[in-house]
Homo-oligomer: A and B are copies of this chain.
Amino acid sequence: MELVTEALNGNRYALARLISRVEDGGADARVSLAALYPHTGQAHIVGVTGAPGTGKSTLVNELTKSLRSQGTTVGVVAVDPSSPFTGGALLGDRVRMRDLAGDPGVFIRSMATRGSLGGLARATADVVKVLDAAGFAVVLVETVGAGQAEVDIARTAHTTIVIEAPGLGDEVQALKAGLMEIADVLVVNKADRPGAAQTARALEMVINRNAVHGTDNNVWRPPILKTIALDGSGIPEVLAAVAAHREYLRTGGAWVERERIRIETELRNVLQQELLDRLLARVGEEQIQAWVARIVAREVDVYTVVQAILGA
């Protein structure tokens, strides 16, 4: 409990240890999370997502620097698709954050995958809670956004920035459709490259198509902004759009609605994991392996086994 108190009082070493504890999960993590949970709910959680090659990390870096120059404290959670085998660090990625090191108003954490997807989503949500409780005004959650997992994690933010870049080919363009649905702010990064105007027009077409489907009378129309993250061009405009989206959520009642959806998803995920853990503890590993062997032998199929284990 002392660790929670110290972390909430601004002790960075305690904060780092608390985050590690929370990432690891288990009973200690639960006790800590229960203690810090009443302190959450203050941060503006901003998802930043985009396909590989869009310059996402550089943009997150610039957004962080710009927020800091306004005096806003920033937590960054980078969800890292690389494996534990590399130590969980993106090659050179965090190096770009070096100019932020030593600033007590910034805390950066890379999340390595922890075996299961559910595990990563759970750990990410819990680390965001710690940074929120520790008083960081904005928490940026950076995800690759090319797979459903990343989309699901980004969906838990209050505001989601989706980044595009010109010239990434057909497949990347196709990925947009899934991301567009969760985009609150659209950024065409690398806007000095050929094709930037075309990329922006393509995004506008999708936005217009979405607008036709809209039914709310308080509609947020995602702005399309151009940036060159490498030299900081367009960054203030992105932050202004993020702030405007926050206002829109706060005044229109959508803030609480997003919280509700996020928390309901989290509750289902945690319930599901706990149910399985308890079942496996009861059924026993030996029995599970015996069923697996029968399925491998094609004696019985997986759905029939599930009915047999749980009872019809």
Within the complex, which residue of B40, B81, B264 is in contact with A175, where a contact is CB–CB below 8 Å? B81
A93: Cβ under 8 A from any B Cβ? yes
Cα of A300 to Cα of B34 in the assembled complex, Å? 7
Q: Is the CB of B276 within 8 A of A271?
A: yes
- Of all chain B residues, the one with the shortest Cβ separation from A264 is B292
Of the listed stretches A66-74, A82-90, A193-201, chain B binds: A82-90
CB distance from A147 to the nearest CB of B (A): 2
Q: Are A298 and B40 in contact (CB under 8 A)?
A: yes
Known: A177-B86, A266-B302, A310-B274. A81 touches B146 (CB 8 A): yes
In the bound complex, residues from chain B placing their C-beta under 8 Å from that of A296 are 256, 259-260, 263
A289-305 Cβ-contact flags toward B at 8 Å (1 or 0): 10111011010111111
- Which residues from chain B contact A56 at a C-beta distance below 8 Å? 171
Contact stretch, chosen from A7-15, A148-156, A218-226, A243-251: A148-156
CB distance from A64 to the nearest CB of B (A): 18
A275 proximal to B (CB < 8 A): yes
Q: Nearest chain B CB to A256's CB is how many angstroms away? A: 7
Q: How many copies does the complex hold?
A: 2
Does any Cβ of B come within 8 Å of A284's Cβ?
A: no
Contact B177 A82 (CB under 8 A): yes
Tell me, yes or no, whether A272 is within 8 Å of chain B by CB: yes
Size bin of chain A's contact surface: 35 or more
1/0 per position for A131-175, CB-CB distance to B under 8 A? 000000000000010111111100000000000000011111111
A91 x B170 contact (CB < 8 A): yes
**Contact: A302 with B177, CB < 8 Å?**
no
Contact A279 B275 (CB under 8 A): yes
In angstroms, Cα B198 to Cα A124, docked, is 35
Q: Cβ of B267 and Cβ of A173 under 8 Å apart?
A: no
Answer yes or no: A43 CB below 8 A from chain B CBs.
Answer: no
Having A53-B168, A270-B306, one finds 14 other A-B pairs with CB under 8 Å, namely: A34-B304, A37-B300, A51-B146, A52-B52, A52-B146, A52-B172, A57-B171, A91-B173, A117-B149, A144-B146, A144-B175, A147-B148, A267-B306, A274-B310
